[in-house]
Amino acid sequence: MSIAITTQFICFIVLSLIVLIGAVGVVLLESIVYSAFLLGGVFMSVAGLYLLLNASFVAAAQVLVYVGAVNVLIIFAIMLVNKKEDLKPINDIKSRRIISTSICLTLLSLLIRVDLTNVWSLSNPQNSIREESTIRIGEHLFSDYLLPFEVASVLLLMAMIGAIVLARRDVMSKDISTGLPVDQELIEKSPEPLLTNKN
Amino acid sequence: MEYGLDLEYSFNEFLKGFGLSSEIAHIIWLPLPMLLVLVAAVVGVLVTVWLERKISAAAQQRIGPEYAGALGVLQPIADGLKLLVKEDIIPAKADGILFTAGPILVLVPVILSWLVVPFGQNLLISNVGIGIFLWIALSSIQPIGLLMSGYASNNKYSLLGGLRAAAQSISYEIPLALSVLAIVLMTNSLSTIDIVNQQSSAGILSWNIWRQPVGFIVFWICALAECERLPFDLPEAEEELVAGYQTEYAGMKFALFYLGSYINLILSALLVSILYLGGWGFPIPVELIANLLKLPINSPLIQVFTASIGIVMTVLKAYLLVFIAILLRWTTPRVRIDQLLDLGWKFLLPISLANLLITAGLKLAFPQFFGG
């Protein structure tokens, strides 16, 4: 084995371990903030795996979109609403855990079966496209994958409009939560008068 | 473009002369450029800190550092040593792991981005194909480190600073990426080497700043905002947030933030000079001078001369921009958070989108000027 292949192998083992342990940590950790930060680590390691597969553009896009945007927004949301409150204990927690574990294990065995039975056609690593991959991705996005690409953008637009409608009460005449008419003059005004029993 | 000094090739050949295999030679070579660039970045920070102190003093009609060395040039080293020997404090109610990991996550992506900064045709660590896109992707990791340190400090000012930093970074990344995209459109490549070569045909006249004046200004504003420099230093606004996410930090951990922000400033200045000011190119093409003096372009002497001119030009352009950034910091007031977000989303984003569209149109109309 040459040095390059050994290095690649070690990198692959380390990255896979980080992905697996990190993903388990995201699910099992009690603190939601730790889970969110670990999720970022998992996304980073997946980007590392893409790098090992010579897909440098996909790796950079993974970092930009998942770590730089999705994960930051998740952490942002957690920090804005992170109230310390004791959650109510769920009475049948044990049976719920057993059901979810069994569903996950079934899904895992299904995936492993697909992995083992399917014949993966691996291209020769010598004639892989390497740095050209950016150009190839662009060609595909503007030819045979144009429709899915555009539909995805429409989906994002819909999500954005939905978020704006939920966040801004002045675009609707009635408050969603209370059903009272909205004061169009002042968006920031509280639905209930704040200083009623001031004396 | 197979000219220019190739130090890696000559070094490997030199080691092979001792009977080493090419793989071993490669492994011995690998850490050398990385170390060199790391040292260059740190020395660059020391110079910038000294410049900042001296220029701010001049702007406020003070003398500035004077006793440490001639003109106070040793002052930044004294600052660094002070931070190095200070006690490393983790506040009692802070989250120890996240508190330590935060500054590291802020510094590492910035240093990694130096991978794609070229100082000459072959004078960079790695000419990766995704080039400038790597920098955009890496700079998006930084807000996670800022959020992390803001949260872990267990301090409301820190948390607010971290949240502001993340919001600012996300808003300004989009116009930044769009103005880089216009350059990439003209170059047909993401590689920083190609971007500079595309501007080298006619010296100063072919620099991208003449073809992308709007992109240049948008990029510079966004780069300043990403570096959290005044007028955009809201995340650490002293008067309202003590020092933002840095409030609870002391000693070496604070030094990491300090280093990170200055390395980021130099990196941004270097990238502006690469994207818009011709990178290592001399204002008059070196080939033209060599032809006038009747010297062969491939002679070793000319090669060494070209390489040194390249490094000097890159650093000179970058420090000119650093000078402008420092002047801006000490002469402009801070914007408010709503003004900052308005500027980012309602002004820079539409302008950079329009710039991208116009660039694409001009590229179709005049392919010889805008890279066919």
ipTM metric: 0.81
- Tell which of A32, A50, A64 to mutate to test the B interface (max B CBs under 10 Å): A64
Amino acid type, A179: G
Query: What are the pLDDT digits (tens) for B37-79?
Result: 888 888 888 899 898 888 888 888 888 888 877 887 888 888 8
Element (H, E) at A78: helix A72-81
SS (H, E, C) A104-129: HHHHHHHHHHHHHHCCCCCCCHHHCC
DSSP labels, B291-310? HHTT--TTSHHHHHHHHHHH
**Helical residues (DSSP H) of chain B, grouped into ranges:** 7-16, 22-29, 31-59, 75-85, 96-112, 131-139, 142-152, 156-187, 192-198, 208-211, 213-226, 238-241, 251-276, 286-292, 300-331, 337-342, 349-365
Mean pLDDT of A158-165: 86
Q: Identify the DSSP state of B284.
A: S
Query: What are the pLDDT digits (tens) for B280-293?
Result: 877 777 777 777 77
Contact B147 A60 (CB under 8 A): no
Name which of B263, B254, B269 is nearest B80 in CA terms: B254
- Residue B7: exposed, middle, or buried by beta-carbon count in 10 A (0-12, 13-18, 19+)? middle
Contact A134 B130 (CB under 8 A): yes
Query: What are the pLDDT digits (tens) for B236-254?
Result: 766 677 777 888 888 888 8
How far is Cα B220 from Cα B269, in angstroms, rounded to an integer? 8
Contact A37 B148 (CB under 8 A): yes
Amino acid type, B225: A
Shortest alpha-carbon distance between residue A56 and chain B (Å):
7
Shortest alpha-carbon distance between residue A59 and chain B (Å):
9
Q: Does B137 touch chain A (CB under 8 A)?
A: yes
Model-level pTM? 0.83
Among A4, A64, A73, select the one facing B136 at the smallest CB separation: A64
Mean pLDDT of B292-320: 80
Residue predicted with more confidence, B96 or B358: B358
Shortest alpha-carbon distance between residue B343 and chain A (Å):
20
pLDDT computed for residue B229 by the predictor: 79
pLDDT computed for residue A173 by the predictor: 64
Contact B143 A37 (CB under 8 A): no
For A77, name the nearest residue in chain B, comparing CA atoms only. Answer: B163
Chain B residue numbers with beta carbons less than 8 Å from the beta carbon of A79 are 147, 151, 159, 162-163
